[in-house]
Protein backbone atom coordinates (compact mmCIF):
# COMPACT_ATOMS: atom_id res chain seq x y z
CA UNK A 1 0.00 0.00 0.00
CA UNK A 2 1.34 3.42 -1.00
CA UNK A 3 0.78 5.90 1.79
CA UNK A 4 0.01 8.61 -0.79
CA UNK A 5 -3.04 6.56 -1.85
CA UNK A 6 -4.07 5.23 1.55
CA UNK A 7 -6.33 6.90 4.11
CA UNK A 8 -4.71 7.52 7.49
CA UNK A 9 -6.02 10.78 8.95
CA UNK A 10 -3.15 11.37 11.42
CA UNK A 11 -3.76 13.94 14.18
CA UNK A 12 -0.77 16.13 15.06
CA UNK A 13 -2.21 17.37 18.34
CA UNK A 14 -3.22 15.29 21.32
CA UNK A 15 -7.02 15.01 21.33
CA UNK A 16 -8.39 16.59 24.51
CA UNK A 17 -11.17 14.06 25.02
CA UNK A 18 -8.79 11.09 25.37
CA UNK A 19 -8.02 10.22 29.00
CA UNK A 20 -5.95 7.10 28.44
CA UNK A 21 -3.00 6.39 26.19
CA UNK A 22 -4.70 3.80 23.94
CA UNK A 23 -7.59 6.14 23.16
CA UNK A 24 -5.16 8.97 22.45
CA UNK A 25 -2.99 6.84 20.16
CA UNK A 26 -5.94 5.29 18.28
CA UNK A 27 -7.25 8.79 17.50
CA UNK A 28 -3.83 10.19 16.64
CA UNK A 29 -2.99 7.24 14.37
CA UNK A 30 -6.29 7.68 12.52
CA UNK A 31 -7.60 4.24 13.51
CA UNK A 32 -11.07 5.24 14.76
CA UNK A 33 -13.50 8.12 14.71
CA UNK A 34 -16.32 8.75 17.14
CA UNK A 35 -19.66 9.10 15.33
CA UNK A 36 -21.82 9.66 18.38
CA UNK A 37 -21.33 8.97 22.06
CA UNK A 38 -19.80 5.50 22.45
CA UNK A 39 -20.25 4.68 18.74
CA UNK A 40 -17.21 4.48 16.47
CA UNK A 41 -16.16 4.05 12.87
CA UNK A 42 -13.10 1.91 12.32
CA UNK A 43 -10.94 3.69 9.74
CA UNK A 44 -8.74 1.62 7.38
CA UNK A 45 -5.70 1.28 9.68
CA UNK A 46 -7.88 0.32 12.65
CA UNK A 47 -9.93 -2.04 10.51
CA UNK A 48 -6.80 -3.90 9.41
CA UNK A 49 -5.79 -4.52 13.04
CA UNK A 50 -9.33 -5.48 14.06
CA UNK A 51 -9.51 -8.00 11.20
CA UNK A 52 -6.22 -9.57 12.30
CA UNK A 53 -7.45 -9.86 15.87
CA UNK A 54 -10.70 -11.44 14.67
CA UNK A 55 -8.83 -13.93 12.51
CA UNK A 56 -6.73 -15.15 15.42
CA UNK A 57 -9.87 -15.48 17.54
CA UNK A 58 -11.58 -17.37 14.69
CA UNK A 59 -8.65 -19.78 14.18
CA UNK A 60 -8.55 -20.70 17.86
CA UNK A 61 -12.34 -21.10 18.08
CA UNK A 62 -12.27 -23.41 15.07
CA UNK A 63 -9.34 -25.37 16.52
CA UNK A 64 -11.40 -25.96 19.67
CA UNK A 65 -14.27 -27.33 17.56
CA UNK A 66 -16.59 -24.31 17.60
CA UNK A 67 -18.52 -23.64 14.36
CA UNK A 68 -19.04 -20.17 12.92
CA UNK A 69 -22.41 -18.74 11.87
CA UNK A 70 -23.80 -15.23 11.73
CA UNK A 71 -26.80 -13.91 13.60
CA UNK A 72 -28.43 -10.49 13.09
CA UNK A 73 -27.90 -7.43 15.29
CA UNK A 74 -31.64 -6.74 15.53
CA UNK A 75 -33.73 -9.21 17.52
CA UNK A 76 -37.43 -9.52 18.27
CA UNK A 77 -38.50 -8.72 21.82
CA UNK A 78 -40.60 -11.91 21.90
CA UNK A 79 -37.57 -14.15 22.29
CA UNK A 80 -36.44 -12.18 25.31
CA UNK A 81 -39.90 -12.29 26.83
CA UNK A 82 -39.67 -16.10 26.66
CA UNK A 83 -36.48 -16.18 28.71
CA UNK A 84 -37.71 -13.49 31.08
CA UNK A 85 -34.79 -11.18 30.32
CA UNK A 86 -36.72 -8.56 28.32
CA UNK A 87 -37.75 -6.70 31.46
CA UNK A 88 -34.78 -7.79 33.57
CA UNK A 89 -32.13 -6.36 31.23
CA UNK A 90 -33.13 -2.77 31.99
CA UNK A 91 -31.94 0.45 30.40
CA UNK A 92 -28.76 -1.03 28.89
CA UNK A 93 -30.95 -2.57 26.19
CA UNK A 94 -31.71 -0.37 23.19
CA UNK A 95 -35.36 -0.96 22.35
CA UNK A 96 -36.75 -0.13 18.91
CA UNK A 97 -40.16 -0.42 17.21
CA UNK A 98 -40.56 -1.37 13.56
CA UNK A 99 -43.21 0.12 11.24
CA UNK A 100 -45.77 -2.43 12.39
CA UNK A 101 -45.15 -1.25 15.92
CA UNK A 102 -43.52 -4.56 16.84
CA UNK A 103 -40.98 -4.30 19.63
CA UNK A 104 -37.42 -5.08 18.53
CA UNK A 105 -34.04 -4.60 20.18
CA UNK A 106 -30.40 -4.18 19.19
CA UNK A 107 -28.89 -7.36 20.67
CA UNK A 108 -26.64 -6.90 23.74
CA UNK A 109 -25.89 -10.68 23.60
CA UNK A 110 -27.39 -13.74 21.86
CA UNK A 111 -28.26 -16.49 24.37
CA UNK A 112 -31.96 -16.33 23.44
CA UNK A 113 -31.45 -16.29 19.70
CA UNK A 114 -29.00 -19.20 19.67
CA UNK A 115 -31.32 -21.21 21.93
CA UNK A 116 -34.10 -20.56 19.41
CA UNK A 117 -31.89 -21.76 16.53
CA UNK A 118 -30.94 -24.85 18.53
CA UNK A 119 -34.47 -25.84 19.56
CA UNK A 120 -35.78 -25.49 16.01
CA UNK A 121 -33.51 -28.21 14.64
CA UNK A 122 -31.59 -30.26 17.22
CA UNK A 123 -33.63 -33.08 18.71
CA UNK A 124 -31.18 -35.84 19.67
CA UNK A 125 -28.21 -36.20 22.02
CA UNK A 126 -26.38 -37.70 19.01
CA UNK A 127 -25.99 -34.17 17.61
CA UNK A 128 -24.17 -33.05 20.77
CA UNK A 129 -21.84 -31.58 21.83
CA UNK A 130 -22.38 -28.48 19.71
CA UNK A 131 -20.70 -25.09 19.95
CA UNK A 132 -21.80 -22.26 17.65
CA UNK A 133 -20.21 -18.81 17.51
CA UNK A 134 -20.23 -15.57 15.60
CA UNK A 135 -18.30 -12.31 15.58
CA UNK A 136 -20.90 -9.57 15.51
CA UNK A 137 -21.73 -6.07 16.71
CA UNK A 138 -23.60 -5.67 19.98
CA UNK A 139 -25.19 -2.67 21.64
CA UNK A 140 -25.33 -1.86 25.34
CA UNK A 141 -26.49 1.58 26.36
CA UNK A 142 -23.78 1.92 29.02
CA UNK A 143 -24.24 4.82 31.45
CA UNK A 144 -20.57 5.69 31.14
CA UNK A 145 -19.11 4.80 27.77
CA UNK A 146 -15.47 5.87 27.96
CA UNK A 147 -11.90 5.34 26.88
CA UNK A 148 -12.81 5.10 23.18
CA UNK A 149 -13.61 1.57 22.05
CA UNK A 150 -12.50 0.17 25.42
CA UNK A 151 -15.99 0.70 26.82
CA UNK A 152 -18.29 1.73 24.02
CA UNK A 153 -22.03 1.39 23.45
CA UNK A 154 -21.75 -0.33 20.09
CA UNK A 155 -18.94 -2.89 20.22
CA UNK A 156 -17.87 -6.13 18.63
CA UNK A 157 -18.07 -9.46 20.41
CA UNK A 158 -17.04 -12.98 19.58
CA UNK A 159 -19.77 -14.92 21.32
CA UNK A 160 -19.84 -18.71 21.39
CA UNK A 161 -22.59 -20.92 22.82
CA UNK A 162 -22.18 -24.56 23.83
CA UNK A 163 -24.86 -27.26 24.13
CA UNK A 164 -24.40 -30.55 25.99
CA UNK A 165 -26.55 -33.37 27.31
CA UNK A 166 -25.03 -33.39 30.80
CA UNK A 167 -23.32 -31.12 33.27
CA UNK A 168 -20.08 -33.11 32.87
CA UNK A 169 -20.24 -32.65 29.10
CA UNK A 170 -20.84 -28.93 29.54
CA UNK A 171 -17.82 -28.67 31.84
CA UNK A 172 -15.64 -30.20 29.13
CA UNK A 173 -17.07 -27.68 26.65
CA UNK A 174 -16.21 -24.95 29.15
CA UNK A 175 -12.65 -26.26 29.46
CA UNK A 176 -12.30 -26.26 25.68
CA UNK A 177 -13.11 -22.56 25.56
CA UNK A 178 -10.93 -21.90 28.61
CA UNK A 179 -7.98 -23.51 26.81
CA UNK A 180 -8.78 -21.77 23.50
CA UNK A 181 -8.81 -18.42 25.33
CA UNK A 182 -5.38 -18.98 26.86
CA UNK A 183 -4.04 -19.64 23.36
CA UNK A 184 -5.92 -16.75 21.73
CA UNK A 185 -4.67 -14.07 24.12
CA UNK A 186 -1.13 -15.44 23.94
CA UNK A 187 -1.16 -15.20 20.14
CA UNK A 188 -2.33 -11.59 20.49
CA UNK A 189 0.83 -10.90 22.50
CA UNK A 190 -1.07 -10.60 25.79
CA UNK A 191 -0.94 -12.17 29.24
CA UNK A 192 -4.62 -12.50 30.10
CA UNK A 193 -5.14 -13.93 33.57
CA UNK A 194 -8.20 -16.17 34.10
CA UNK A 195 -10.07 -15.09 37.24
CA UNK A 196 -13.09 -16.61 38.93
CA UNK A 197 -15.90 -14.15 38.37
CA UNK A 198 -19.41 -13.02 39.01
CA UNK A 199 -21.98 -13.96 36.37
CA UNK A 200 -24.13 -10.79 36.40
CA UNK A 201 -27.09 -10.65 33.98
CA UNK A 202 -25.88 -13.68 31.95
CA UNK A 203 -26.50 -15.99 34.94
CA UNK A 204 -25.07 -19.33 36.10
CA UNK A 205 -22.60 -20.35 38.75
CA UNK A 206 -19.31 -21.06 36.99
CA UNK A 207 -17.56 -18.19 35.33
CA UNK A 208 -14.11 -16.78 34.54
CA UNK A 209 -13.01 -13.40 33.36
CA UNK A 210 -9.78 -13.02 31.41
CA UNK A 211 -7.94 -9.94 32.58
CA UNK A 212 -4.91 -8.06 31.29
CA UNK A 213 -3.00 -6.17 33.93
CA UNK A 214 -3.09 -2.42 33.23
CA UNK A 215 -3.23 0.57 35.57
CA UNK A 216 -6.05 2.09 33.53
CA UNK A 217 -8.18 -1.07 33.79
CA UNK A 218 -11.64 -0.98 35.34
CA UNK A 219 -11.44 -4.40 37.04
CA UNK A 220 -9.61 -5.23 40.25
CA UNK A 221 -7.38 -8.27 40.41
CA UNK A 222 -6.39 -10.16 43.54
CA UNK A 223 -4.30 -13.25 43.01
CA UNK A 224 -1.12 -15.19 43.57
CA UNK A 225 1.74 -13.43 41.79
CA UNK A 226 2.64 -16.67 39.97
CA UNK A 227 -0.55 -16.21 37.98
CA UNK A 228 1.19 -13.66 35.81
CA UNK A 229 3.67 -16.19 34.42
CA UNK A 230 2.17 -19.32 33.01
CA UNK A 231 2.56 -21.94 30.31
CA UNK A 232 0.31 -21.68 27.30
CA UNK A 233 -1.35 -24.86 25.96
CA UNK A 234 0.37 -26.01 22.75
CA UNK A 235 -1.10 -25.77 19.26
CA UNK A 236 -1.75 -29.50 18.95
CA UNK A 237 -3.58 -29.76 22.29
CA UNK A 238 -6.16 -32.55 22.05
CA UNK A 239 -9.45 -30.74 22.59
CA UNK A 240 -11.29 -34.07 22.82
CA UNK A 241 -9.24 -35.21 25.82
CA UNK A 242 -11.46 -34.66 28.85
CA UNK A 243 -8.64 -35.36 31.32
CA UNK A 244 -6.10 -33.31 29.38
CA UNK A 245 -8.25 -30.18 29.37
CA UNK A 246 -9.33 -30.71 32.96
CA UNK A 247 -5.70 -30.73 34.05
CA UNK A 248 -5.11 -27.41 32.25
CA UNK A 249 -8.16 -25.96 34.02
CA UNK A 250 -7.27 -27.43 37.42
CA UNK A 251 -3.80 -25.97 37.23
CA UNK A 252 -5.37 -22.54 37.18
CA UNK A 253 -7.95 -23.01 39.80
CA UNK A 254 -5.47 -24.59 42.21
CA UNK A 255 -3.89 -21.18 42.62
CA UNK A 256 -6.32 -18.78 44.23
CA UNK A 257 -7.75 -16.06 42.03
CA UNK A 258 -10.82 -13.88 42.31
CA UNK A 259 -11.99 -10.55 41.02
CA UNK A 260 -13.15 -7.79 43.31
CA UNK A 261 -16.82 -8.68 42.71
CA UNK A 262 -16.42 -11.94 44.61
CA UNK A 263 -13.23 -11.04 46.36
CA UNK A 264 -12.62 -13.71 48.96
CA UNK A 265 -10.56 -11.90 51.61
CA UNK A 266 -9.83 -15.05 53.56
CA UNK A 267 -8.41 -16.86 50.55
CA UNK A 268 -6.36 -13.84 49.51
CA UNK A 269 -4.97 -13.43 53.01
CA UNK A 270 -4.03 -17.11 53.04
CA UNK A 271 -1.45 -16.35 50.35
CA UNK A 272 1.92 -15.57 51.99
CA UNK A 273 2.35 -11.78 52.07
CA UNK A 274 5.26 -11.58 49.64
CA UNK A 275 3.38 -13.68 47.07
CA UNK A 276 0.20 -11.62 46.77
CA UNK A 277 -0.63 -9.52 43.78
CA UNK A 278 -3.32 -6.87 43.83
CA UNK A 279 -3.58 -4.78 40.70
CA UNK A 280 -5.95 -3.32 38.15
CA UNK A 281 -6.84 -4.90 34.85
CA UNK A 282 -8.91 -4.88 31.67
CA UNK A 283 -11.50 -7.62 31.13
CA UNK A 284 -11.02 -8.87 27.57
CA UNK A 285 -12.99 -12.10 27.81
CA UNK A 286 -15.67 -13.70 29.96
CA UNK A 287 -16.94 -17.28 29.95
CA UNK A 288 -20.01 -18.75 31.64
CA UNK A 289 -21.60 -22.11 32.41
CA UNK A 290 -25.27 -21.61 33.24
CA UNK A 291 -26.85 -25.07 32.88
CA UNK A 292 -30.50 -24.96 31.87
CA UNK A 293 -31.18 -21.28 32.61
CA UNK A 294 -32.28 -20.63 29.00
CA UNK A 295 -33.05 -24.13 27.75
CA UNK A 296 -35.79 -24.69 30.35
CA UNK A 297 -37.93 -21.56 29.83
CA UNK A 298 -37.37 -21.73 26.05
CA UNK A 299 -37.93 -25.47 25.74
CA UNK A 300 -34.57 -26.50 24.25
CA UNK A 301 -34.40 -30.23 24.84
CA UNK A 302 -33.03 -33.36 23.21
CA UNK A 303 -33.79 -37.03 23.47
CA UNK A 304 -31.13 -38.78 25.56
CA UNK A 305 -29.79 -42.35 25.23
CA UNK A 306 -32.42 -43.29 27.84
CA UNK A 307 -35.19 -42.31 25.41
CA UNK A 308 -36.27 -39.43 27.66
CA UNK A 309 -36.20 -35.70 26.93
CA UNK A 310 -33.55 -33.59 28.65
CA UNK A 311 -33.08 -29.84 28.78
CA UNK A 312 -29.64 -29.09 27.37
CA UNK A 313 -26.80 -27.70 29.49
CA UNK A 314 -25.44 -24.50 28.05
CA UNK A 315 -22.51 -22.14 28.36
CA UNK A 316 -21.58 -18.88 26.64
CA UNK A 317 -18.15 -17.47 25.92
CA UNK A 318 -17.37 -13.87 25.02
CA UNK A 319 -14.32 -11.97 23.78
CA UNK A 320 -14.37 -8.24 22.96
CA UNK A 321 -12.26 -7.57 19.82
CA UNK A 322 -12.97 -3.82 19.80
CA UNK A 323 -11.79 -3.71 23.44
CA UNK A 324 -8.79 -5.94 22.72
CA UNK A 325 -7.28 -3.51 20.22
CA UNK A 326 -6.93 -0.69 22.81
CA UNK A 327 -5.93 -3.27 25.45
CA UNK A 328 -3.03 -4.39 23.25
CA UNK A 329 -1.97 -0.74 22.90
CA UNK A 330 -2.17 -0.21 26.69
CA UNK A 331 0.21 -3.15 27.04
CA UNK A 332 2.53 -2.19 24.19
CA UNK A 333 3.46 1.42 23.40
CA UNK A 334 6.11 4.04 24.17
CA UNK A 335 6.26 7.85 24.12
CA UNK A 336 6.41 7.83 20.30
CA UNK A 337 3.39 5.67 19.66
CA UNK A 338 2.05 2.15 19.28
CA UNK A 339 4.26 -0.96 19.15
CA UNK A 340 2.17 -3.70 17.53
CA UNK A 341 2.93 -7.36 18.18
CA UNK A 342 3.72 -8.84 14.76
CA UNK A 343 0.61 -11.06 14.87
CA UNK A 344 -1.80 -8.10 14.71
CA UNK A 345 0.29 -5.34 13.10
CA UNK A 346 -1.58 -3.47 10.33
CA UNK A 347 1.48 -3.90 8.07
CA UNK A 348 4.50 -6.19 8.34
CA UNK A 349 6.96 -3.47 7.39
CA UNK A 350 7.01 0.19 6.31
CA UNK A 351 9.41 1.42 3.62
CA UNK A 352 10.36 5.04 4.24
CA UNK A 353 11.56 7.06 1.28
CA UNK A 354 13.52 9.93 2.88
CA UNK A 355 13.75 11.87 -0.35
CA UNK A 356 10.80 11.21 -2.63
CA UNK A 357 11.58 12.51 -6.12
CA UNK A 358 15.25 11.55 -5.85
CA UNK A 359 15.85 8.97 -8.57
CA UNK A 360 18.07 6.66 -6.55
CA UNK A 361 15.81 6.75 -3.45
CA UNK A 362 12.66 6.20 -5.52
CA UNK A 363 14.23 3.33 -7.44
CA UNK A 364 15.48 1.61 -4.30
CA UNK A 365 12.14 1.96 -2.50
CA UNK A 366 10.15 0.70 -5.49
CA UNK A 367 12.46 -2.31 -5.75
CA UNK A 368 12.09 -3.21 -2.08
CA UNK A 369 8.34 -2.55 -2.09
CA UNK A 370 7.84 -4.80 -5.13
CA UNK A 371 10.07 -7.61 -3.81
CA UNK A 372 8.45 -7.75 -0.37
CA UNK A 373 4.93 -7.47 -1.76
CA UNK A 374 5.64 -10.31 -4.18
CA UNK A 375 6.85 -12.41 -1.23
CA UNK A 376 3.43 -11.98 0.39
CA UNK A 377 4.39 -9.29 2.90
CA UNK A 378 1.93 -6.54 3.70
CA UNK A 379 4.06 -3.45 3.04
CA UNK A 380 3.29 0.21 3.61
CA UNK A 381 5.39 2.43 1.34
CA UNK A 382 5.74 6.03 2.53
CA UNK A 383 6.12 7.65 -0.89
CA UNK A 384 4.75 11.04 0.24
CA UNK A 385 6.47 14.42 -0.07
CA UNK A 386 6.55 14.91 3.71
CA UNK A 387 9.88 15.71 5.32
CA UNK A 388 11.88 12.83 6.78
CA UNK A 389 11.11 13.85 10.38
CA UNK A 390 7.37 13.67 9.75
CA UNK A 391 7.74 10.26 8.12
CA UNK A 392 9.70 8.87 11.05
CA UNK A 393 7.12 10.22 13.49
CA UNK A 394 4.25 8.68 11.52
CA UNK A 395 5.99 5.30 11.25
CA UNK A 396 6.67 5.25 15.00
CA UNK A 397 3.12 6.42 15.82
CA UNK A 398 1.33 3.76 13.78
CA UNK A 399 3.61 1.11 15.24
CA UNK A 400 4.55 -1.06 12.25
CA UNK A 401 7.11 -3.56 13.67
CA UNK A 402 9.91 -2.83 11.15
CA UNK A 403 10.97 0.21 9.13
CA UNK A 404 13.21 0.10 6.07
CA UNK A 405 14.68 3.57 5.70
CA UNK A 406 16.12 4.68 2.36
CA UNK A 407 18.07 7.96 2.44
CA UNK A 408 20.28 9.42 -0.33
CA UNK A 409 23.60 8.82 1.42
CA UNK A 410 23.03 5.13 2.22
CA UNK A 411 21.38 4.44 -1.12
CA UNK A 412 24.46 5.82 -2.92
CA UNK A 413 26.35 2.95 -1.25
CA UNK A 414 23.66 0.43 -2.19
CA UNK A 415 22.48 0.34 1.42
CA UNK A 416 19.41 1.01 3.56
CA UNK A 417 18.72 1.08 7.30
CA UNK A 418 16.42 -1.39 9.03
CA UNK A 419 14.85 -0.24 12.29
CA UNK A 420 13.15 -2.45 14.84
CA UNK A 421 10.22 -0.41 16.24
CA UNK A 422 10.20 -2.26 19.55
CA UNK A 423 13.89 -2.08 20.49
CA UNK A 424 14.75 1.00 18.43
CA UNK A 425 17.81 -0.88 17.13
CA UNK A 426 18.97 0.28 13.69
CA UNK A 427 21.11 -1.71 11.32
CA UNK A 428 22.63 -0.65 8.01
CA UNK A 429 22.70 -3.36 5.37
CA UNK A 430 22.70 -3.87 1.63
CA UNK A 431 19.40 -3.59 -0.19
CA UNK A 432 19.52 -7.30 -0.94
CA UNK A 433 20.16 -8.16 2.72
CA UNK A 434 17.24 -5.96 3.78
CA UNK A 435 14.92 -7.79 1.38
CA UNK A 436 16.18 -11.19 2.51
CA UNK A 437 15.74 -10.16 6.13
CA UNK A 438 11.97 -10.19 5.56
CA UNK A 439 11.58 -12.74 2.80
CA UNK A 440 13.71 -15.51 4.27
C1 LIG B 1 -20.66 -14.25 26.87
C2 LIG B 1 -20.90 -14.36 25.39
C3 LIG B 1 -21.50 -11.98 27.60
O4 LIG B 1 -22.18 -11.13 27.07
N5 LIG B 1 -22.86 -13.63 26.45
C6 LIG B 1 -22.33 -14.04 25.16
C7 LIG B 1 -21.81 -13.48 27.41
N8 LIG B 1 -20.44 -11.71 28.36
S9 LIG B 1 -19.90 -10.23 28.72
O10 LIG B 1 -18.90 -10.39 29.72
O11 LIG B 1 -20.98 -9.37 29.07
O12 LIG B 1 -19.23 -9.65 27.44
C13 LIG B 1 -18.19 -10.40 26.79
C14 LIG B 1 -17.03 -9.50 26.42
O15 LIG B 1 -17.45 -8.44 25.59
C16 LIG B 1 -16.64 -7.30 25.81
N17 LIG B 1 -17.49 -6.14 26.18
C18 LIG B 1 -17.30 -4.88 25.73
N19 LIG B 1 -16.37 -4.36 24.90
C20 LIG B 1 -16.42 -3.04 24.64
N21 LIG B 1 -17.36 -2.21 25.16
C22 LIG B 1 -18.32 -2.69 25.98
N23 LIG B 1 -19.25 -1.87 26.46
C24 LIG B 1 -18.30 -4.09 26.31
N25 LIG B 1 -19.08 -4.89 27.09
C26 LIG B 1 -18.57 -6.13 26.99
C27 LIG B 1 -15.68 -7.64 26.95
O28 LIG B 1 -14.44 -8.06 26.40
C29 LIG B 1 -16.38 -8.81 27.61
O30 LIG B 1 -15.47 -9.67 28.27
> Which residue minimizes the CA distance to atom 17 of ligand 1?
320
- The percentage of residues in the chain with a pLDDT greater than 70, rounded to a whole number, is 98
Task: Report the pLDDT value the prediction gives residue 264, as an integer from 0 to 100.
Answer: 64
How would you classify the pairing of strands 402-406 and 415-420?
A: antiparallel
* pLDDT digits 0-9 by tens, 322-360: 999 999 999 999 999 999 999 999 999 999 999 999 999
Among candidate residues 287, 294, 227, 278, the one with its CA nearest the CA of residue 256? 227
Q: What is the full DSSP assignment across 79-145?
A: HHHHHTHHHHTGGGSEEEE-TT--EEEE-S--HHHHHHHHHHH--BGGG-SEEEEEEEEEE---SS-
User: Which ligand 1 atom sits nearest the alpha carbon of residue 108?
Assistant: 4
Calpha distance 437→399 (Å, rounded):
19
Q: Atom 3 in ligand 1: which residue has the minimum CA distance?
A: 318
Q: How far apart are CA 324 and CA 140, in angstroms?
A: 17
Per-residue pLDDT at 255? 59
CA of 321 to the centre of ligand 1 (A): 10
Q: Identify the CA nearest to 163 among candidates 194, 123, 210.
A: 123
What's the gap in Å between 339 CA and the centre of ligand 1?
25
pLDDT > 50? residue 203: yes
Q: What is the CATH number of domain 349-439?
A: 3.40.50.800
CA of 200, closest atom in ligand 1 = 11
Mutate which of 26, 290, 320 to test ligand 1's pocket (most atoms within 8 Å of Cβ)? 320
| Whether pTM exceeds 0.85 | yes
Task: Count Cα neighbours of 46 within 13 Å in the Cβ-side half-sphere.
Answer: 27
- Strands 309-311 and 301-303 come out as antiparallel
Q: Of all protein residues, whose CA lies closest to atom 21 belonging to ligand 1?
A: 151
The string over 413-428, giving b where at least 16 C-beta atoms fall within 10 Å of a residue's C-beta and e elsewhere, is: eebbbbbebeeeeeee
Average of per-residue pLDDT across 188-196: 89
Are 216 and 147 in contact by the 8 Å Cβ rule? The answer is yes
pLDDT of residue 263: 57
Q: Can you tell me which atom of ligand 1 is nearest the CA of 151?
A: 21
Q: Name which residue sits closest to atom 27 of ligand 1, judged by CA.
A: 320
Question: pLDDT at residue 66 above 90?
Answer: yes
What's the fold here for domain 7-338? BirA Bifunctional Protein; domain 2 (3.30.930)
CA of 317 to the centre of ligand 1 (A): 9
Nearest CA to ligand 1 atom 22: 151
Report the separation in Å between the CA atom of 13 and the middle of ligand 1, taken as the mean of its atom positions.
Answer: 32
Q: How far is the CA of 158 from the centre of ligand 1 (A)?
A: 9
Q: pLDDT tens digits, residue range 405-414?
A: 999 999 999 9
In 3D space, the residue among 423, 285, 410, 295 whose CA is nearest the CA of residue 360 turns out to be 410
**Ramachandran region of residue 72, left (φ > 0), alpha (ψ -120 to 50) or beta?**
beta
Q: What is the mean pLDDT of residues 28-37?
A: 98
Task: Give residue 320 CA to ligand 1 midpoint distance, Å.
Answer: 6
SS3 of residue 232 by DSSP: coil
Ligand 1: which residues within 6 Å by Cβ? 109, 140, 142, 151-152, 155, 157, 159, 202, 283-286, 288, 316-320, 322-323
Per-domain residue ranges for the chain? 7-338, 349-439
Question: Across residues 34-44, what is the average pLDDT?
Answer: 98
CA-proximal residue: ligand 1, atom 25 (nearest):
151
φ, ψ of residue 298 to 5 degrees: the values are -100, 0
Distance (Å, whole) CA 42 – CA 51: 11
Contact present, 321 and 145 (Cβ < 8 Å): no
Look at the alpha carbons of 282, 402, 181, 30 in this order and tell me if their dihedral is positive or negative. Answer: positive
Ligand 1 centroid distance, CA of 273 (Å): 33
Tell me the CA–centroid distance for residue 319 and ligand 1, in Å.
6
Q: Which of 37, 75, 109, 157 to mutate to test the pocket of ligand 1 (most atoms within 8 A of CB)?
A: 157
Q: Ligand 1 centroid to 155 CA: how many Å?
A: 9
Over residues 292-311, the pLDDT tens digits come to: 999 999 999 999 999 999 99
Structure letter (DSSP) for residue 289: E
Backbone angles phi and psi of 138, in degrees to 5: -130, 165
* From 38, 203, 286, mutation site for ligand 1 pocket: most ligand atoms within 8 A of C-beta: 286
pLDDT-based confidence at residue 96 (cuts at 50, 70, 90): very high
pLDDT in the model for residue 260: 43
Amino acid sequence: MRLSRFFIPILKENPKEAEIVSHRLMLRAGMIRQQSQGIYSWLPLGKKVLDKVNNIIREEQNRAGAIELSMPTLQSAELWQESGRYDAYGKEMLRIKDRQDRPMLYGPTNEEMITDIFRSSVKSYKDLPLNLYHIQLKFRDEIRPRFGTMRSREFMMKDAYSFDLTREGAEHSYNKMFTAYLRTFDRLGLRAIPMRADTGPIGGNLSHEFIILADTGESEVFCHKDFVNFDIPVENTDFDSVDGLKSIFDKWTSLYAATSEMHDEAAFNAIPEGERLSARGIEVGHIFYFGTKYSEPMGAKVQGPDGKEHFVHMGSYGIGPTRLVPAIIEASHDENGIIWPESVAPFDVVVINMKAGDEACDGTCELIYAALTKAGKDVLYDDTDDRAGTKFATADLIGVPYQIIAGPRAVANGEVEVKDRKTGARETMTIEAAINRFVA
